[in-house]
Amino acid sequence: MFQEAERMKGLGSAVFSQVAQMQKAAQAAGQDVIQLSIGSPDLLPADHVVAALRQSAGNADSYGYTLTKGRPDFLNAVADWYREHHAVTLEAESEVHSLIGSQEGLSHIGLCLVNPGDVVLVPDPGYPIYCAGPLMAGAQLEFMPLRAENGYLPDLAALTPAVLNRTKMMILNYPNNPLAAVASRSFFQEVVALAAKYGFVVCHDFAYSELVFDGYRPESFLAIPGAKEVGVEFNSLSKTYNLCGCRVGYVVGNAQVIGLLSRLKSNFDYGVFAPLQAAAVAALTGSQAHVRATADTYQRRRDVVVDGLNRIGWQLDKPKASMYVWAPVPSGQSSLEFTADLLKHTGVAVIPGSAFGRCGEGFVRFALVQPEARLAEGVERIRQWLGK
């Protein structure tokens, strides 16, 4: 009988697996399931991005190993995009690095910076990789509760010097998954000051930077003076450009941290497949009209779900960003129990908030990954089930 390594014991996918099994069973029984659980975009990439991918895939020289760091045209495209979209100046050679999806970088960064027993500050609720990556490095996780009364921002004043003196990393994510919350410039300024004082690295996940609504524009963490001295920012083409299956992303910011990640990755893997980098360059440097259309689509979908749930009696504010709606459980059930009942009685599949951490209990996450008509149908099914 084989035994798992000790490091595996902190990893959990139980809730996600349970929801997946429930959906599979419901579909096998003939139920029409409206899948709002996994945040996988149903929208297509822009035509010019697909054309670049096809052209590069037809080149005989596209099938060799690629540099771990990324092709120069990709690195320059990222630097130019950051300058144009977020007024952040980056040195392409030393402050930009390709990733096989931003999650890959988030999973490995702890191995570069954390020794066993070091503290990593992680948001709760938060995307699971924020815990899994540091746990693989042997970190001690200290959870930063994200609560509505504090605008779903960590209470930095609650972090004690005893914890901060042992902290090596802080992980943040705005616009946020699963909460769809956003952060202010003043909050990031406080984070930069705290990181500089205690000497830890800030890792900001900016994957939803362009899925923004109602004229809102988020601030890149790196736009804050001093941020590049204390941190890095992860971004991805998955959500912005509907390329999630391609697994192409990047990390930008502090050159020393990026150099460490580059050294680790050079021992672990090679670079992103060349045609995917060509597609990424086309996405970053070409027309951004498709990005704006994608954001507008999610805004309309957000309105269908939030307005519909509010008419039922749920009290929800409209999020300014992301592709999610975070909603309180409208019963005395746990989030998993409500998710199971919702699927059973309506065929609407969501993710229970408990999948994202202890502070997620009492909520569910809707992913806006279906057309408006399908979302409206889901809301109507919920209305009938709740008898509203």
Checking 84-88 for CB contacts under 8 A at 24+ apart, the result is 85/209, 85/210, 86/209, 86/219, 86/220, 86/222, 86/223, 87/220, 87/223, 88/220, 88/222, 88/223, 88/252
Round to whole Å and give the CA distance between 344 and 31: 9
Torsion of CA 372, 376, 382, 387, to 10 degrees: 170
Do the domains 47-285 and 6-44+290-386 match in fold?
A: no
Cβ contacts of residue 261 below 8 Å, gap of 6+?
97, 105, 108, 109, 112, 251
Quickly state the pLDDT bin for 287 (edges 50, 70, 90): very high
pLDDT band at 102 (very low <50, low <70, confident <90, very high): very high
Quickly list DSSP for 116-174.
Answer: TT-EEEEEES--THHHHHHHHTTPEEEEEE--GGGTT---GGGS-HHHHTTEEEEEEES
CATH architecture, domain defined by 47-285: 3-Layer(aba) Sandwich (3.40)
Mean pLDDT of the chain: 95
| pLDDT exceeds cutoff 90 at 39 | no
Q: Is CATH 3.20.20.150 the classification given to domain 6-44+290-386?
A: no
Sequence-ordered strand ranges (E) for 288-374: 324-328, 348-349, 351-352, 363-367
C-beta of residue 222 within 8 angstroms of C-beta of residue 228: yes
Q: Which residues contact 289 (CB under 8 A, 6 or more apart)?
A: 46
Q: In the predicted model, what is the mean pLDDT of residues 252-264?
A: 97
pLDDT in tens, 174-185: 999 999 999 999
The label of the residue with tokens 């349970």 reads 18
pLDDT bin (cut points 50, 70, 90) of residue 365 is very high
Give me the residues paired with residue 205 across strands. Answer: 173, 234
Domain assignments of the chain as residue spans, ordered by start = 6-44+290-386, 47-285
The pLDDT value recorded for residue 235 is 97
Kindly report which listed range (10-19, 132-141, 249-258, 292-301) carries the lowest average pLDDT score: 10-19
* Whole-prediction pTM: 0.95
SS3 category, 99: strand
Percent of the chain with pLDDT over 90: 89
Residue type, 366: F
pLDDT digits (tens, 9 = 90+) for 174-216: 999 999 999 999 999 999 999 999 999 999 999 999 999 999 9
pLDDT in tens, 236-246: 999 999 999 99
Asked whether 49 and 283 are in contact (CB, 8 A), the reply is: yes
